[in-house]
């Protein structure tokens, strides 16, 4: 499958002098359409830092993140980077990140409102993705009326509704019990394959590595294994 995103000798440091932390050192990662890449490693190994860079939420200290082999995310002006984030990338969060006063369907609709999709098309798209994650019967419920697993399905539907080429999920199962987490991982793997989208997911749970088509293992900010 085709490469959509590539990290090329990426370094990310925080702070200066004696307090400097090298969170990522010379990281190379290749992300492909239709594949689920799982990033794993112990706490502090650099997973969140890497996902933030791959998702255009942060910029590398050195090295390049190339989208479609040409656009260097770290060098894009903020306005262009925002456009890339809104149209090409979907984000799923550990704490779901849903707006409490909105129903499931209204939460899913938010990214489409941000890019100005007309109302009729919004309704169709929202219905389609809620169906896809198995949440259509709960469309009118608010987050507090849903289980953790259901809330994360809303989070996934919201990430998919703009039809992104790339899905980024930092510990999307971190707040779920192990059975629910396994179901969510299986759903993400299935959606990645069916939609031909690329997904990069971090986890510290080794049992989730089996879901991956590619895995990247980090230790102290370095890639210690990269396996397809």
Ligand X SMILES: Nc1ncnc2c1ncn2[C@@H]1O[C@H](COP(=O)(O)OP(=O)(O)OP(=O)(O)O)[C@@H](O)[C@H]1O
Residues that bind ligand X (CB under 6 A): 14-15, 21, 23, 41, 43-49, 204
- The minimum distance between CB 49 and ligand X, in angstroms, equals 3
Binding to Mg ion by residue 173, rule CB under 5 A?
no
CA distances from 215 to 25, 35, 140 (A): 18, 10, 37
- Tell me which stretch binds Mg ion (CB under 5 A): 10-18, 42-50, 84-92, 216-224: 42-50
Q: Which of Mg ion, ligand X, none binds 46 (CB below 5-8 Å, type-dependent)?
A: ligand X
Please report the DSSP string for 65-108 in residue order.
EEETTTEEGGGS-HHHHHHHHHHHEEEE-TT----TTS-HHHHH
**Nearest residue by C-beta to Mg ion?**
48
Nearer to ligand X, 45 or 211 (CB): 45
- The minimum distance between CB 41 and ligand X, in angstroms, equals 6
Spatial separation of the C-alpha atoms in residues 11 and 71, rounded to whole Å? 18
Please say whether the beta carbons of 190 and 166 come within 8 A.
no
Nearer to ligand X, 41 or 111 (CB): 41
The one among 48, 117, 162, 192 contacting Mg ion by CB under 5 A: 48
Nearer to Mg ion, 48 or 103 (CB): 48
Closest by CA to 84, choosing from 75, 93, 96, 97, is 75
**Region of residue 160 (phi > 0: left; psi between -120 and 50: alpha; otherwise: beta):** alpha
Nearer to ligand X, 102 or 209 (CB): 209
Q: Which two tokens stand for residue 185?
A: 């991982």
Residues that bind Mg ion (CB under 5 A): 47-48
């Amino acid at each position: 499958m085709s490469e959509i995103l590539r990290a090329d000798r990426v370094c990310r440091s925080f702070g200066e002098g004696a307090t400097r932390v090298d969170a990522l050192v010379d990281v190379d990662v290749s992300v492909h359409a239709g594949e689920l890449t799982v990033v794993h490693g112990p706490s502090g190994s650099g997973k969140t830092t890497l996902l933030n860079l791959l998702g255009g939420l942060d910029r590398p200290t050195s090295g390049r993140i190339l989208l479609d082999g040409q656009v260097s995310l770290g060098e894009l002006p903020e306005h262009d980077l925002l456009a890339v984030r809104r149209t090409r990338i979907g984000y799923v969060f550990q704490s779901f990140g849903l707006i409490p006063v909105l129903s499931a369907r209204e939460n899913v609709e938010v990214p489409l409102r941000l890019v100005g999709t007309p109302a009729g098309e919004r309704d169709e798209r929202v219905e389609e993705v809620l169906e896809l994650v198995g949440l259509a019967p709960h469309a009118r419920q608010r987050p507090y009326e849903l289980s953790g697993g259901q809330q994360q399905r809303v989070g996934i539907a919201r990430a998919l509704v703009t039809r992104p080429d790339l899905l980024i999920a930092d510990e999307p199962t971190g707040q779920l019990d192990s059975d629910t987490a396994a179901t969510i991982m299986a759903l993400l793997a299935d959606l990645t394959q069916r939609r031909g989208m690329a997904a990069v997911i971090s986890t510290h749970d080794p049992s989730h590595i089996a879901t991956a088509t590619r895995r990247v293992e980090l230790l102290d900010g370095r890639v210690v294994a990269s396996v397809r």
